[in-house]
Homo-oligomer: A and B are copies of this chain.
Amino acid sequence: MKKSNTTKSKIVAAAWKLFYEQGYEDTTVDEIIAESKTSKGSFYHYFKSKDELMGSLSYLFDEKYEEISPEVRTIKNSFDRLLFMNSALFGMIEDSVSLDLLGRLYSSQLVTKGEKQLLDYNRMYYKLLREVVSDGQKAGEIRADLSTNDIVKTYALLERGLLYDWCICNGDYPLKDYAAKLMPQLLAFIKV
């Protein structure tokens, strides 16, 4: 039920158009409501702040996971599945998400009074992770003496740490490759 002509979606569309054209900082709320032909009242009815718009960026991660989930399931070993997911996600981020916007997302999650999308465990991101880890435990490829949730949380923490660092370093090293080197080592402890 994705209505694409509601006031809310008009605002979101206009905002992302402008963010990509001009960057987050240089886009004002007034410009967004002008572009979307809405009003301040509507804007702040749907969003607690300009920051909160950034939260929707995290759903881009979910789309990627949705997209690759069939391919993920073809991989034999659960541990490799996790590494594949990480590479797919980071590859996508590296070549299609602006560093400015990613940084804003991570920044806004720290100071927002609104929703913390990065912690929304109903997102596809977490669903797929739980599935892979849980299957891996049943198959005896991943330690079963740790709870599925703890492992998923640790994995997510590592990805956030890697992304945070990449942002503060202004993306001056290849994210996917760096993670491909580090993740297997950091995650080694979940192997049986």
Given A103-B111, A107-B111, A157 contacting B162 (CB threshold 8 A): yes
* Shortest distance from the beta carbon of A81 to any chain B beta carbon, whole Å: 20
User: Lowest 6 CB-CB distances: which A-B pairs, in order?
Assistant: A161-B161, A107-B110, A185-B189, A103-B110, A107-B107, A107-B111
Contact segment of A14-22, A66-74, A163-171: A163-171
- Residue in B108, B110, B161, B169 whose CB lies within 8 Å of A158: B161
Note all chain B residues with C-beta closer than 8 A to A110: 103-104, 106-107, 164, 167-168
Report the Cα distance A188→B184, complex, angstroms: 12
Note all chain B residues with C-beta closer than 8 A to A168: 109-110, 116, 118-119
The range of chain A's interface size is: 20 to 34
A192 at the interface (CB under 8 A from B): no
A56 at the interface (CB under 8 A from B): no
Contact with B along A148-192 (1 / 0, CB 8 A): 000000100110111011011100000000000010011011000
Given A106-B110, A107-B111, A189-B188, A160 contacting B165 (CB threshold 8 A): yes
